[in-house]
Chain A
């Protein structure tokens, strides 16, 4: 199992059956359409306008969902969101789809209500601002447009600063000391606005006005015809009315609580329609026939052909794709390897010459994950959570793979945690010592193998060893790929010298770190192996060069590259130790903090509080770290040995819905 083999197919059908056939193909979701090459007499459908129209409708349904979430929120249980799409039979779907126009017009009603709410809200803001502007004038008991009596002239206006009556009068006097008849009233005064009412006799109008202007008097931009408080009252009434209207719209929207599922159906419906029309852009038609071509995974070919030809007036031809065709990639693996397909997909799908790395990668992925998280208690929690998720929820295929991945990772974590003797850090020991009076020194290690915290050097050496095995596996895949494509010499030249060199240098390197662990024979053998490897690297890595100097320098450069590259790669696996230590030590610290008090009862209460909190945070942080670093080891160290990537993902014409799924009978 690996990359699915793809076949190129051509389907021709009668024009009468074409609609039904196309719907059928979309429901099947195994055909990736390609533009049908131009044939004389056949034309292409122009679907651009329809697609953009459908996109618009889809946008309306999505906006409706957002509006409803805001004004008529629905209690969404976590259960439902995990449970995936509701299943509909084809018949049922079509029955509901016939009312799509009705749903759309409901959606538009909802949107227009929400638009009205927005408009009323804006109106309220505007009116409130106006009313606020009137507030300083409220104690004026004549209209703001008041001009004065028969013999007097009135000036109603403001200064952009704080002012007292005395100040005002004296400033007028300073500006023009010939004015005699002026009288003034301060209507209101604040730090940046002083509203005033000033009266003068008719014959001094011009003088007064000039004086007032010179000290900064301005008339109001919108003087009222009524007494200000009347207009203020009108504003308040209008605000009330707008609020009432707005609330009414909100109430109407609130009644749409049951419309959520319908809006979701509409969204799904328009998604299906849009995808269908996008697909239709690839087909060719004339007045009798419809023709299309594309890719179908080989495993589905025969069944599809049978169904197409039996149900419809149609014919399907299956071809082997040409060598240079851009064939799409679809991965299919057994459960164990398939669970980590998403990890590979995140990097890049396998290219044309690549093999599917998942089956080889899977075991390393789970092992490394386990070593880095390295706590059996945490692993156990993962396993339990994943088993519950699997039992309780109807998961989508993608979610299933993710739960599988964390299930296997969890199992591996339990295994390695037990090997290293870490169950929620050292909780067993802590409880035994603190509550049952066991002497700390006499408590045995729980490790089935050894504790990395006690002997980190040993763990580091093992990390390197696991790394070397991982890298060798990657090289092995490279060997297989080269061999299979007929480059047998290259297969040997690329892989064998590195095997020899690394196998030879490894015991010598280990001896540098710890002089006691390697038997002398390993060192001697290592020396010769390394030498042989180095010579082979020098001899082989310059082989593409034409002249002898090129070969020699290419060889020496290759030796440097191989040496430095593999050294860096192997050292990178020290993160297995580092992340494992980080989980374990912090778990230990949490346990220690939890049992700090000396009183046993207080200690117990502390433990009950601190234990779940502390370990909860530690699991969360370390899960992310472990996931990231496990991925990194695959991407950088493993994939660089053989993997090209760059494959194009298989994107069939299919039903790409979010909320409902349609079951083909």
Chain B
């Protein structure tokens, strides 16, 4: 049995990506949900529109999950054929996860704020709800970019170390 430190570091990275992005999304979805519940108490027919806004900051959690899953399969913690990786490889994987973990957390929060404000648009001008979605979706760009960097880094690192 080899040294497990490398694998542990990589798992730490994966777990951080899933957990932090997940926390961000959980908080975010909660924030928009509160705003939405206020709106729906006045006008239940706007539930559908409010729900779409509520889901928006939920994607970061998904991205974090995706990153974690990809990494865990790469280092064979999921899916069998496990063999430990070196400490430096593990550290690389760990760093690769950070963009998703950090940007995922922060962007979910701010996306939620934009979406919660968008609930106001739905309340006053329901026909403009698309604009509310767009404002909020702008924030998500940075989660997408973070996801890309994390995923590409994971793929590239596994290419480098073979």
Contact = CB atoms under 8 A, between A and B. Distances in A.
A67 to B, nearest CB: 15
B137 A629 contact: yes
A578 B147 contact: yes
A518 interface: no
Given A574-B144, A582-B66, A585-B66, A628 B56 contact: yes
Interface string B45-70: 00000001001101100110110011
A628 B144 CA distance: 13
Mostly, the B contact residues are: helix
Contact of A346 (B55, B56, B63, B130): B130
Interface residues of B, number: 28
A593 to B, nearest CB: 11
Contacts of B133: 628, 631
Contacts of A632: 134, 137-138, 141
Contact of B152 (A460, A625, A629): A460
B152 A582 contact: no
A385 B145 CA distance: 33
Interface in A549-591: 571-572, 574-575, 577-579, 581-582, 585-586, 589
Interface in A614-632: 621, 624-625, 628-629, 631-632
Contacts of B69: 585, 589
Give the one of A577, A578, A636 with max B CB within 10 A.
Answer: A578
A581 B151 contact: yes
A457 B148 CA distance: 10
Nearest to A629: B137
B134 A631 contact: yes
Contacts of A621: 55, 58-59, 62
Given A457-B152, A578-B147, A628 B134 contact: yes
Contacts of A629: 137, 140, 144
A625 B151 CA distance: 18
Interface string A492-505: 00000000000000
Contact of A582 (B52, B62, B156): B62
Interface string B7-46: 0000000000000000000000000000000000000000
Nearest to A627: B133
Given A586-B66, A632-B137, A574 B148 contact: yes
Contacts of A22: none
A585 B65 CA distance: 10
A578 B55 contact: no
A233 interface: no
A577 B56 CA distance: 19
A577 B140 CA distance: 15
Given A585-B70, A624-B52, A575 B62 contact: no
B134 A635 contact: yes
A578 B128 CA distance: 28
A456 interface: yes
Nearest to A513: B152
A581 B66 contact: yes
Contacts of B144: 574-575, 578-579, 629
Contacts of A578: 63, 144, 147-148, 151
A575 B130 contact: no
B130 A631 contact: yes
B59 A456 contact: no
Nearest to A584: B66
A528 B85 CA distance: 46
Contact of B59 (A625, A631, A635): A625
A472 B65 CA distance: 35
B147 A457 contact: no
A624 B130 contact: no
Given A589-B69, A628-B134, A632-B134, A582 B63 contact: yes
A572 B141 contact: yes
Contacts of B134: 346, 628, 631-632, 635
A279 B88 CA distance: 76
A635 B130 CA distance: 12
20 contacts: A456-B151, A457-B156, A578-B144, A578-B151, A581-B66, A582-B147, A585-B66, A585-B69, A586-B66, A589-B69, A621-B55, A621-B59, A624-B56, A625-B59, A629-B144, A631-B133, A632-B137, A632-B138, A632-B141, A635-B134
Interface of A: 346, 456-457, 460, 571-572, 574-575, 577-579, 581-582, 585-586, 589, 621, 624-625, 628-629, 631-632, 635-636
Closest 10 CB pairs of A and B: A346-B130, A628-B137, A578-B144, A575-B144, A578-B148, A574-B148, A585-B66, A578-B147, A456-B155, A582-B66
